Amino acid sequence: MSEMLRLPAEAIYAGELAALAAGDADRRPSGWALSPKVVVTYLMGGTAADGTPVTPKYVGDRRLIETAVATLATDRALLLLGVPGTAKSWVSEHLAAAVAGDSTMVIQCTAGTDENQVRYGWNYAQLLAHGPSREALVATPMMRAMESGKLCRLEELTRMGSDVQDTLITVLSEKMMPIPELNSAVYARRGFNIIATANNRDKGVNELSSALKRRFNVVVLPLPDSAEEEVAIIVKRVGEMAQSLDLPEPRNVAEEVARVVAIFRELRAGSTEDGKVALKSPSGGLSTAEAIGVMVGGISQATFFNDGRLTPGTLAATMIGAVVKDPVQDKAVLGEYLETVLKKRRGFEDYYASLSELI
Ligand SMILES: Nc1ncnc2c1ncn2[C@@H]1O[C@H](COP(=O)(O)OP(=O)(O)OP(=O)(O)O)[C@@H](O)[C@H]1O
Ligand SMILES: [Mg+2]
């Protein structure tokens, strides 16, 4: 096991990427580490030419990933849009790992992000001592991606101010970044492009200007269609995460995931699975990612405090944490759900008991 808490995708899946590259005879866009078809195989899973199994990274519609990969081979940038927890950052990291062999050039956009974090900054000691020079310039991940012909990832693009977002227009349309202080510019090498993520649920975001929108192709990542699909994603990711955290995986994980997902999906949809009872939805998102968090938290608790047994009792506290984001409103929503739906449902008696005890 690595000493690092978490390695980048290209390090974790180095074996898969090398096997895929070795057997990749298809045409590659210049600057790409793999051909577009093989990038899709890396994301969706399959086998490499030498028989090495490739694990699926994204579980969902293959066409979405094909569109995303095809976009990156054009002069338009890619924007992955969706509600929280739909694997936008996850897909963006794996796309960068497969296309450029490097997923580490990331800019986290916040309300406090300014132009210098997108374009370049200065080492002020150098600047004062020797004046503006290339040595005094501090390159951002964007600048390094341009210079090396790789992908730059912008996380939560719409969180930064519109004026700062618009600095991307020159980069995207002219593929260069002017440095007026040095009377020069950085020109992007072939292979450079941008993958941005944004979620369309948060408040306080800054809409993209239409000039910028036009330079992005938008791919919307949806919530999983069916409960089965969602359970499969969660079981797979929980297994991987438990392994990387060195937690033994209890035998009944799949069973409990199915029950937690059944509860989360009904609360999220605002009605019971059979459509007969209308419910109120809690204020939080209750996404797939949230369910993964609940399960991993439950496994940790089971390991250290419950002799490794994963029970509704060990999951209840984290489930309440996921559902109740607003202490007053959401508590009422959950209470009503417990009394009107879960109390009478067969197979959920232990969840009803554990949740109503804690709420
Ligand atoms: N369809 C899916 N396929 C594979 N993994 C998924 C899928 N949906 C969610 N996940 C898992 O959910 C977790 C969270 O995903 P991620 O952090 O990428 O979400 P996000 O869309 O970036 O959310 P946010 O908007 O909050 O940043 C990841 O571990 C990811 O593996
Ligand atoms: Mg994200």
Pocket of ligand 1 (CB under 6 A): 58-60, 82, 84-90, 197, 199, 233, 237, 288-289, 292
The pLDDT of residue 344: 92
Q: What is the mean pLDDT of each run of 10 residues along the chain (359 residues)?
A: 87 97 95 97 97 96 98 96 93 98 97 94 95 95 97 96 92 95 96 94 82 94 93 95 93 95 95 91 89 96 94 94 93 95 94 94
Of all protein residues, the one whose alpha carbon is nearest to atom 10 of ligand 1 is 87
- Collect residues with CB below 5 Å from ion ligand 2: 89
Ligand 1, atom nearest to 93 Cα: 18
- Give residue 177 CA to ligand 1 midpoint distance, Å: 32
The pLDDT of residue 285: 77
Ligand nearest to the CA of 234: 1
- Give residue 81 CA to ligand 2 midpoint distance, Å: 10
The pLDDT of residue 1: 64
Ligand 1, atom nearest to 229 Cα: 1
Please state the three-class secondary structure of the chain as a single string: CCCCCCCCHHHHCHHHHHHHHHCCCCCCCCCCCCCHHHHHHHHHCEECCCCCEECCCCCCCHHHHHHHHHHHCCCCEEEEEECCCCCHHHHHHHHHHHHHCCCCCEEECCCCCCHHHHCEEECHHHHHHHCCCHHHEEECHHHHHHHHCCEEEEECHHHCCHHHHCCHHHHHHHCEEEEHHHCEEEECCCCCEEEEEEECCCCCCCCCCHHHHCCEEEEECCCCCCHHHHHHHHHHHHHHHHHHCCCCCCCCHHHHHHHHHHHHHHHHHCECCCCCCECCCCCCCCCHHHHHHHHHHHHHHHHHHCCCCCCHHHHHHHHHHHHCCCCCHHHHHHHHHHHHCHHHCCCCHHHHHHHHHHC
Ligand 1, atom nearest to 237 Cα: 31
The pLDDT of residue 224: 93
- Give residue 85 CA to ligand 1 midpoint distance, Å: 4
- Give residue 86 CA to ligand 1 midpoint distance, Å: 4
Of all protein residues, the one whose alpha carbon is nearest to atom 12 of ligand 1 is 289
